[in-house]
């Protein structure tokens, strides 16, 4: 049972029994993510004081300009997870291919693979807007003791054993689930400890915030255009408030607390969608469902989509259940 002001370490130990198949590995994995998050948080908070702002001069596999902090965060999480020999493989949004991890005995005995977006919304760093990290954990499907393969990473989201995000904002928080609800822990920077600050987080059944980049309105599918008009219509409980930060972690976090919907649809420019199924949509969808919310591509439950490639993109609609269902209704009727 979640207890206010309990430390993250205490919470992990107390709830180890909920981790199916695990004999401590998943607990150590979450602890490793906690450690890497503190390292990245330290660098994020130094932005503007040291040379970590701006573009790094490279592009990632998505063809996007990498920010210096993208590269730093990617290296920090990979190094922490690799050095502790907790996982047998890592896939990162910033890497072309997955990484196989061998232990000191040159075997691949660990059970879990991690997929990660090391620094979501990093283009906002230069203007001091909140950014985040998103992570997803699966139990491998290939035999233990063998190198991981692509099959271990291309699992539908309904097979996740853990997922979460870290938001680096006015305070730094880790929010995660292992399939038994969602809990949020806030970092006390004075002593470097995370405390349970948001136990049993849930989306309100309905909300009054819609989060979408309306600058792309002309390129949206007709169903999304119709839903946005519905959100803006003067009615008893509307118009809704438009709030869009441009950082998935920040928009999702606000909407979970206050009630709302996040929409990143496919467009005429990006017909497959823009967000990545494995690094962004699946972990956020798992969190949403564990918090009484819903996540969809407009027609299909996100967690039921069978991935076909490591950097696959999909449309994404996520948030308060009734709001997502209404958006799906407009998509079906368009």
CA-based torsion, 191, 192, 195, 198: positive or negative: positive
Please give the pLDDT value at position 57.
46
Closest by alpha carbon to 250, among 163, 129, 135?
129
pLDDT attached to residue 104: 62
Instruction: Tell me if 93 is assigned to a ligand binding site.
Output: yes
Judge whether 46 is annotated as a binding position: no
Neighbouring residues of 31: CB distance < 8 A, sequence distance ≥ 6? 9, 12
Check residue 64 and report its DSSP letter.
P
Alpha helices by DSSP H, listed for the chain, are 8-14, 25-44, 68-83, 150-153, 222-232, 248-258, 282-290, 321-333
Nearest to 285 by CA among 269, 268, 307, 267: 307
Residue 247 annotated as binding site: no
**pTM to 2 decimals?**
0.91
Is 244 part of any known ligand binding site? Answer: yes
Is 70 one of the annotated binding-site residues? no
Q: For residue 117, give the 3-state DSSP assignment.
A: strand
Taking only the tens place, the pLDDT of each residue in 209-235 is: 999 999 999 999 999 999 999 999 999
Q: What is the fold of 8-198?
A: Fructose-1,6-Bisphosphatase; Chain A, domain 1 (3.30.540)
Residue-level pLDDT at 329: 98
Q: What number of other Cβ atoms are within 10 A of residue 85's Cβ?
A: 17
| Residue 259 marked ligand-binding | no
In the beta sheet, which residues pair with residue 235? 238
* Residue 205 to residue 230: CA distance in whole angstroms: 18
Q: Is 23 annotated as a binding residue?
A: no
Instruction: Please state which of the four CATH numbers 3.40.640.10, 3.40.50.970, 3.40.190.80, 3.40.50.12640 is assigned to the domain occupying 209-333.
Output: 3.40.190.80
The domain ranges of the chain are 8-198, 209-333
User: Is position 117 annotated in a ligand binding site?
Assistant: yes
Give the pLDDT score at 2. Answer: 59
Q: Which residues contact 130 (CB under 8 A, 6 or more apart)?
A: 121, 124, 167, 168, 169, 170, 245, 247, 249, 250
* pLDDT tens-digit profile, the chain (334 residues): 556 679 998 888 888 776 665 557 778 888 899 988 888 888 777 655 444 444 544 554 555 545 577 888 899 999 999 887 789 999 999 899 999 987 666 667 788 999 999 998 877 767 777 889 999 999 999 998 889 999 999 999 999 999 999 998 888 999 999 999 999 999 998 898 999 999 999 999 999 999 999 999 999 999 999 999 999 999 988 999 999 998 999 999 999 999 999 999 999 999 999 999 999 999 999 999 999 999 999 999 999 999 999 999 999 999 999 999 999 999 999 8
Q: Is 121 annotated as a binding residue?
A: yes
């Amino acid at each position: 049972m979640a207890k206010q002001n309990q430390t993250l370490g205490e919470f992990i130990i107390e709830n180890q029994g909920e981790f199916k198949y695990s004999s401590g590995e998943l607990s150590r994995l979450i602890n490793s993510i906690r450690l890497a998050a503190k390292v990245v948080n330290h660098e994020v908070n130094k932005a503007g004081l040291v040379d970590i702002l701006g573009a790094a001069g490279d592009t990632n596999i998505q063809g996007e300009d990498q920010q210096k902090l993208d590269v730093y965060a990617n290296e920090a999480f990979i190094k922490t997870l690799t050095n502790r020999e907790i996982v047998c493989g890592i896939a990162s949004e910033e890497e072309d291919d997955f990484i196989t991890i061998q232990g000191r005995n040159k075997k691949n005995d660990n059970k879990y693979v991690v997929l990660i977006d090391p620094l979501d919304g990093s283009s906002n760093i230069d203007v001091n807007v909140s950014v985040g990290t998103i992570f997803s954990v699966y139990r491998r499907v290939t035999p233990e003791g063998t190198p991981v393969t692509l099959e271990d990473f291309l699992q539908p989201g309904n097979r996740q054993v853990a997922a979460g995000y870290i938001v680096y904002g006015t305070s730094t928080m880790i929010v995660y689930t292992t399939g038994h609800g969602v809990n949020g822990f806030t970092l006390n920077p004075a002593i470097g400890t995370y405390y349970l600050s948001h136990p049993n987080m849930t989306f309100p059944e309905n909300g009054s915030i819609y989060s979408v980049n309306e600058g792309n309105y002309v390129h949206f599918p007709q169903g999304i255009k119709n839903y946005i008009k519905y959100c803006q219509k003067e009615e008893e409980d509307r118009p809704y408030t438009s709030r869009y930060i441009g950082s998935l972690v920040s928009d999702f976090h606000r909407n979970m607390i206050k009630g709302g919907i996040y929409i990143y649809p496919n467009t005429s420019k990006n017909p497959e969608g823009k967000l990545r199924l494995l690094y962004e949509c699946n972990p956020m969808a798992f969190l949403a469902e564990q918090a009484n919310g819903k996540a969809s591509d407009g027609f299909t439950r996100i967690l039921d989509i069978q991935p076909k490639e490591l950097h696959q993109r999909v449309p994404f609609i996520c948030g308060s259940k009734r709001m997502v269902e209404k958006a799906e209704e407009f998509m079906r009727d368009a």
